[in-house]
Amino acid sequence: MTAWLRSNWLALILIVVASSALLPIAARAHRTGAGSDLIPKIVVPYGSSANLNDVDWSALRIRPPVTEALPKGTRVEAIQFDRTAHAKYQTDTTMRQCFFTFWDTRDRMWAESSFDLPTSVSAWIKRMPMANICVGAGTWVAAMVVPDDAQINAVNITFTNIEGSHTVRFMVR
For 3-50, how does the pLDDT look when each residue is reduced to its tens digit (9 = 90+)?
A: 777 778 888 888 888 888 777 776 655 554 445 566 898 999 999 999
Q: Are residues 55 and 6 in the same domain?
A: no
Q: Are residues 27 and 41 in the same domain?
A: no
pLDDT greater than 50 at residue 78: yes
Q: Which residue has the higher pLDDT, 107 or 126?
A: 107
pLDDT greater than 50 at residue 172: yes
Residue 106's pLDDT is 93
By residue range, what is the domain housing residue 8?
A: 1-34
Which pLDDT band, with edges at 50, 70 and 90, does 151 fall under? very high
- Per cent of the chain over pLDDT 70 is 80
Q: Are residues 109 and 164 in the same domain?
A: yes
Q: Which residue has the higher pLDDT, 79 or 55?
A: 79
Q: Are residues 3 and 65 in the same domain?
A: no
pTM of the predicted model as reported, rounded to 2 decimal places = 0.72
- What is the H or E stretch that residue 142 is in? strand 138-147
Residue 32's pLDDT is 47
- Per cent of the chain over pLDDT 90 is 31
What are the backbone dihedrals phi and psi of residue 41, each rounded to the nearest 5 degrees, phi first? -80, -30
Number of domains in the chain: 2
Average confidence (pLDDT) over 45-70 = 90
Do residues 117 and 144 touch, judged by C-beta distance below 8 A?
A: yes
| CA nearest to 138, candidates 89, 102, 94 | 89
Q: Are residues 18 and 44 in the same domain?
A: no
Average confidence (pLDDT) over 75-79 = 92
CATH number at residue 70: 2.60.40
Q: Would you give the end-to-end CA distance of the chain in angstroms?
A: 58
Q: How far is CA 82 from CA 8, 49, 57, 136, 142, in A?
A: 63, 9, 6, 11, 11
Q: Are residues 84 and 137 in the same domain?
A: yes
Q: Are residues 71 and 126 in the same domain?
A: yes
Average confidence (pLDDT) over 73-92 = 82
Q: Are residues 14 and 48 in the same domain?
A: no
- pLDDT, averaged across the chain: 82
Q: Are residues 26 and 60 in the same domain?
A: no
Whole-angstrom distance, CA of residue 77 vs CA of residue 21 = 43
Pairing of strands 164-171, 40-44: parallel
DSSP code of 136? S
Buried b (16+ CB within 10 A) or exposed e, 52-62: bbebebebeee
Q: Are residues 21 and 44 in the same domain?
A: no
